[in-house]
Structure formats: C-alpha cells, structure tokens
Chain A
C-alpha cells in the first residue's frame, strides 16, 4: 500500500470511529441509527425556534456595521470559539489517555507522524462538524431573515473550528512539556470546563460590577466598550465582517485556520508518539496518604457514605466535570455580595440560578452515586436491603448539595428572608426531582462513563433539564408573581409525574 493510500485508509478508519462514537453518544450505545437521525432532524428543526428568539432581530442588520454591532458579533464568535476550544481540549486528552487503539498504532510499522497527522485532522474535523451542526439553526434564521450574505457565517464556523482544534492541540502538548503527563489530564479538563464557561461568566461579572445586572450585553453595548474598542479597520473585526458576508475576509480567515492547523500538524505530529509513550511510561502508582491502619467504626450506611465521599474527593476529573455548574454560581454570588451595598432588584435573579445549579449538580451527583457504582456486585451481595443502600447514596447527594448551597442561601437570608426560604425550598425540590429521575432511570455503569451519562437515557436527560428549568422558574416567580408560580409549579410537577409514569422503575 502506498503512503497516500495508507493515509486515506487510516483517515477513513478515523472518520468511521468518530461517527460510531458520536452515534453511540446520541443513542446510548444502542445503535438505533435511524431513530438517532430522525431525533436529530427533529431537534434541529425545533432548535430554529429558540434560535429565532435569540438571533432573529439581528438578521436584517444594516451594513456597514458600527462598533456596538461589531463588538456584539465578535463577542458571540469568540464565545463559540471558546466553546469549541473547550471541546477540542477534551477530544485531545481523550486521544492521549482513553483511546484503546494507541498500543496497536504504536506497535504497527506505520509512519507515526503521518498517522497522528490524520488523527489531528480528525479532531479538527469532528470539532468543526459539531460546531456546524449546532450553528445551523442560527445561521438558517439569519439567512431567512437577512439574505444569503449570512451563509458566509458557515465559513466563519469552519475557520473558528480549525483554529480552535489547532490551539487545543498546542495547549495540550505544551501542558505535557510543562507539567508532565500525570497532571496534564486534570489541568486540561479543568481548562476545558473553565474556558467553556469562563467568557460568559467574565462578561456577567463585569456587568454585575459595573451595572448591577446579570446581562452580559450590558457590558458589550456600553459606551465604555465602544470607547475602548479598536478602530473599524482593525483585524479584530474580521470574523464579524466575514460572518456578515465579506467574502475576501472570509477567505483569509479560512486560510489562516488551515495554515494554523497545518503548522500544528507539521510541528507536533512527530512528537505526538513521544507524548503518548510518556503518558504510558509515567503511569506511576498513586499513593494515598498513609494513615493509621485502624478501621473506623459506624453503621453500614456510614460505611457507604464514607466510601462515596472518599471517591468524590479522590476524583479530580469528576470534580472538574461538576466545576462548570459551580462556576455559574459565581455571578449570582457576586450579585448577592453587591446587593448588600445596593438595593438592586436584580438580586431576584439569584434564586433561579441557584435552584437550576442545584438541580443540575444533583443530577450529576445522583448518577455518580446511584448508577456509577464501580463494584455493583459487592454492594448487591452486602447484607443490607437495597432500599438502605439507595438511601445512603441519596444522603450523599443531599449533603454535598447542602454543603455547597447552604452558605449561599444563608447569605441570601441577610438580603431577604422570604427569598432565602423560597430558594431553599426550590433547591430541595430541584435536588429531589433530579435525584428521583436518576433513580427511576438508573443504568449500571462505570464512574469513568460519567461523560456519557446523558446518553444512557435521552428521556431522563430531558426530564432532568426540564424539571431543573421548571423549578428554577417556579422559584423565581414565587418571589415575584406567586400566582404564576402555581402554574409553572404544576406544569413541572406534571412533567415529573409523566417521567415517573414512563420510567422503567415504575412499580
């Protein structure tokens, strides 16, 4: 087989693996390809509605663009880039640490630089493909409302995807060299979480500090932002210009993205194999702090709870996965802090954010403790009734949520006792709902499969999300328009009841 043919063959293999991995994520490894495709089409169609609500009013924006419009569009593109970078960092760490085929590839007589070039290209392709898929409803809305000039936004997505993949690979390899393989995984995953949420949160923090509101547009459209922004002919605005139909600038952007990726492939592909070897070679045993060998006493449930807490504490990867949800608590906490010196009504917004965070965090934790049991046979053969095992695990979820959110709710009580009570009730209901859904839809899995927990049951995922949103809205309305809260509360309770009715655990 010639070198070119071998590369084509390997590229085909990579694309097939990426497709199957994606399909497994979409279908929960059940291989229902037709249903997945239909669901995807329906989802994409439905996504046009929120896309219209978010972006519809910008479709007929007049050219040439002024600074405020350029700032908003550029910030939106930068946000998309940050999210793609986050996803690409995840993909690269997965290639280093989780792919089962690295031994096979490394032991084969193939040219490793070529093979890893293809793999880098595959990462770029999958990141860009996913971004194109998610951006399609938004671009469609812009094209329908503002004409075909907006089609060039697809080109911007491609350019942004290519550059995000290239930079993600460079960051990860750089981390390897700076801090070594054992820490890179954790740091890269935390980086991925922080980068994804960081930009939005930074804008919110700036908005709170400057304007006392959670709206990130407050900063972007402010006079100060316009004053500090570069001139209209600055390259900083190229992505925004390209998105609105400047084909020359678009060509430069795509060429720049391809060049960046090409440089990364040329420079880093030959070193990829060294990096992989170092990952394998430095898999040293991790020693826990040696403590006295005496065992602790306590009940069987206490043993279960202690084990769950220890496992949570010892798994920084899982902590980083939950970090994203906790990061979103930073702006409301800041808003809360500001409210002590300012009688802003924006503090009401903290309630739904806290309740939403509780629901999402509880869903993740409940999956880890209930479904993500690494020794199910051991626990199932232990001499205690299954109900007590479940109760101990639920207690862990409630304790963790309590430890994280009680200080925030206590602080809220100083600003408004009523709102603190409503928030506390909302947190409890959202936590119980998310935990119950995980219980009804439990599927035995390894903790390391946490990333795929949302694919084990699409229904559970959507129910969990809708309930969290529903309880967050209900809590916010309970503070502002109590009558409306009854309606949203009833709707959310109905969603929860319907979820139970169709759950496999019913009865």
Chain B
C-alpha cells in the first residue's frame, strides 16, 4: 500500500533544551521505505523522533505524517503510527497477551482482528511459551519483543523505533529485523535509529546522518559513498567522517 505522500515530512523542526537539540531540521521519509537515522550520542535523533511521535512539543516547525498535520491533529496521526523506545515500557503485572489486548483496545482495533494478529505476532517473535506469563520476570530482550509486538498489533503505517535492538540476543535481533522487513515489504514505513551501523547498512533503503540537531548527510549507501568521495569506504568510516564534518560546520 504505497502512497505518493511522504510517510514523514518534517520542516524547520526545532527544539531547545539548554542548547539547541534539534536545529531547524528538514527531513523527508518516503512511504514504504526503511529509513535509518544515525548520529552520535546527543545528536538529536531521539528528540526528533519523540517530537514526531507526539511525546515532545517542538518549539517550532511542522510535522506531517502521511499528509496529516501531526501538531494540529495528533490523534489522527497517532492512529496510523507506532513508537518503540530503547527502554521497553510495558506493564510487569500483565501477560504479553493481555498487554497486546490493552494496546489493541487503545487503538480501537476490532478484537476479532487483533486477537489472532496478537497470537501471530507473539508466535513470530518466539514468545509463544510465555503468552500467559506476567512480564515481570522477562529479560530485557523479551520485554523489547513484547513492546515491539504491541507496536505492530494495530497495524501501523509508520513505525518509529529508537534503538530497538539494544539488549537483544542474535536470534531475537534476527526475529525483529525479519519482522520489520516483512512490514516494509507490506508497504509500511519504518524509521529506526541505531548505533549498530551494520544493521543500517544491511536493512535501510536510505540513511540519514544527524549531528548537532541537523541532517548532515542523507541517501542510499551508494549515494553516501559518492557524497564522501570514496566508493570503497565502510559505513563506519563514512559515518565518522560525516559527523566530524558536520560538527566542524556547526
């Protein structure tokens, strides 16, 4: 289900804390693409995505989600969007299935649709043996998978993930990556921040590099290499060079 409208269009987005965290950022993510947002610690990645998800109010700028003005009509924007943070926030006293039932209820999904979808999601994430166990005894990786299942159960058109692979073992990370790629193939848009450059390199259609609250480079891996003037360089080398250049320019 591709759309002509961009999945995310951010214009002059600005947020200041003690210093500018996001500085008049312009960013466009096309519908149906897997977009990786990279940047060093404190570059403004999480702040940007939290503003997009409606968790933080921008000082200035606009945010448009598939044509919906997210600042003017946040409820409509949230209906088609999902957010997963690096620190999985779930309810310890609920089971994974109960958690997904709650999320589906919050998004107003018909139980006849959400119940089988929840079962399928938990199955695909390897959580089937734990369906009726309370989350309080879960490892961080299991909690992250429950949170991810919660984000997917209402079938969002835009999924925003902030460091979703943190704390996951290799098998779990593969499950999650597979699930996200399936969603992208089905027409969903995924925006993900990650410090694991290899993940961005393998999974992302396009990569954006952010430094000091500004987008310093953007494109496919090939385009980034061309921008950097070398075709044989690794993403890690390129990333360091781009961030250094961005910092020097700022």
Report whether A293 and B91 are in contact in the complex, using a CB–CB cutoff of 8 Å. no
Cα A380 to Cα B102 with chains together (Å): 14
Contact with B along A341-376 (1 / 0, CB 8 A): 000000000000000000000000000000000111
Report whether B89 and A377 are in contact in the complex, using a CB–CB cutoff of 8 Å. yes
Q: Which of B28-36, B132-140, B171-179 contacts A (4 or more CB under 8 A)?
A: B132-140
Closest to A292 in B: B115
Q: Please report whether the interface of chain A is mostly helix, strand, loop or mixed according to DSSP.
A: loop
Contacting residue for A295 out of B115, B132, B150, CB 8 A? B115
Report whether A295 and B75 are in contact in the complex, using a CB–CB cutoff of 8 Å. no
Q: Which of A24-32, A236-244, A283-291, A426-434 contacts B (4 or more CB under 8 A)?
A: A283-291
Cα A111 to Cα B88 with chains together (Å): 38
Q: Taking the complex as formed, is B62 at the interface, i.e. its CB lies under 8 A from any CB of chain A?
A: no
Q: Taking the complex as formed, is B118 at the interface, i.e. its CB lies under 8 A from any CB of chain A?
A: yes
Closest to A288 in B: B95
Report whether A377 and B93 are in contact in the complex, using a CB–CB cutoff of 8 Å. no
A300 with B83: in contact, given A288-B133, A314-B93, A383-B78 (CB under 8 Å)?
no
Measured between beta carbons, the chain B residues less than 8 angstroms from A306 are 102, 105
Q: Taking the complex as formed, is B108 at the interface, i.e. its CB lies under 8 A from any CB of chain A?
A: yes
Q: Could you tell me which residues of chain B, from 101 to 145, have a CB within 8 Å of some CB in chain A?
A: 101-108, 110-111, 114-115, 118-119, 130-134, 136-137
Closest to B93 in A: A314
Cα A379 to Cα B90 with chains together (Å): 11
From residue A236, how far is it (CB to closest CB) to chain B in Å? Answer: 45
Q: Taking the complex as formed, is A298 at the interface, i.e. its CB lies under 8 A from any CB of chain B?
A: yes
Report whether A284 and B137 are in contact in the complex, using a CB–CB cutoff of 8 Å. yes
Report whether B55 and A377 are in contact in the complex, using a CB–CB cutoff of 8 Å. yes
A381 with B94: in contact, given A285-B137, A295-B111, A303-B105 (CB under 8 Å)?
no
Contact with A along B70-88 (1 / 0, CB 8 A): 0000011011011101000
Q: Taking the complex as formed, is B98 at the interface, i.e. its CB lies under 8 A from any CB of chain A?
A: yes
Q: Which of A295, A296, A383 has the most CB of B within 10 A?
A: A295
Cα A384 to Cα B75 with chains together (Å): 6
Q: Which of B82, B102, B111, B130 has the most CB of A within 10 A?
A: B102
Closest to A303 in B: B105
Q: Taking the complex as formed, is A307 at the interface, i.e. its CB lies under 8 A from any CB of chain B?
A: yes
Measured between beta carbons, the chain A residues less than 8 angstroms from B137 are 283-286
Measured between beta carbons, the chain B residues less than 8 angstroms from A297 are 110-111
Q: Taking the complex as formed, is B198 at the interface, i.e. its CB lies under 8 A from any CB of chain A?
A: no
Measured between beta carbons, the chain B residues less than 8 angstroms from A314 are 93-94, 134
Q: Taking the complex as formed, is A5 at the interface, i.e. its CB lies under 8 A from any CB of chain B?
A: no
In the complex, number of A-B residue pairs with CB atoms less than 8 Å apart: 114
Q: Taking the complex as formed, is B92 at the interface, i.e. its CB lies under 8 A from any CB of chain A?
A: yes
Q: Taking the complex as formed, is A76 at the interface, i.e. its CB lies under 8 A from any CB of chain B?
A: no
Q: Could you tell me which residues of chain A, from 275 to 321, have a CB within 8 Å of some CB in chain B?
A: 283-290, 293-300, 302-304, 306-307, 310-311, 314-315
Report whether B83 and A383 are in contact in the complex, using a CB–CB cutoff of 8 Å. no
Report whether B78 and A381 are in contact in the complex, using a CB–CB cutoff of 8 Å. yes
Closest to B109 in A: A295
Measured between beta carbons, the chain B residues less than 8 angstroms from A289 are 132
Report whether B79 and A383 are in contact in the complex, using a CB–CB cutoff of 8 Å. yes
Measured between beta carbons, the chain A residues less than 8 angstroms from B95 are 288
Q: Taking the complex as formed, is A385 at the interface, i.e. its CB lies under 8 A from any CB of chain B?
A: yes
Measured between beta carbons, the chain B residues less than 8 angstroms from A53 are none
From residue B88, how far is it (CB to closest CB) to chain A in Å? Answer: 9
Q: Could you tell me which residues of chain B, from 15 to 33, have a CB within 8 Å of some CB in chain A?
A: none
Report whether A380 and B54 are in contact in the complex, using a CB–CB cutoff of 8 Å. yes
Q: Taking the complex as formed, is B97 at the interface, i.e. its CB lies under 8 A from any CB of chain A?
A: yes
Report whether B102 and A381 are in contact in the complex, using a CB–CB cutoff of 8 Å. no
Q: Taking the complex as formed, is A378 at the interface, i.e. its CB lies under 8 A from any CB of chain B?
A: yes
Q: Taking the complex as formed, is B192 at the interface, i.e. its CB lies under 8 A from any CB of chain A?
A: no
Report whether B89 and A383 are in contact in the complex, using a CB–CB cutoff of 8 Å. no
Report whether B130 and A285 are in contact in the complex, using a CB–CB cutoff of 8 Å. yes
Report whether B97 and A293 are in contact in the complex, using a CB–CB cutoff of 8 Å. yes
Report whether A295 and B133 are in contact in the complex, using a CB–CB cutoff of 8 Å. no
User: Which residues of A come within 8 Å of B, CB atoms?
Assistant: 283-290, 293-300, 302-304, 306-307, 310-311, 314-315, 374-385
What 19 additional pairs, Cβ within 8 angstroms, besides A296-B101, A374-B90?
A285-B130, A288-B98, A288-B132, A288-B133, A294-B111, A295-B118, A296-B111, A303-B102, A304-B106, A307-B94, A314-B93, A377-B53, A377-B83, A378-B89, A378-B103, A379-B106, A383-B79, A383-B107, A385-B75
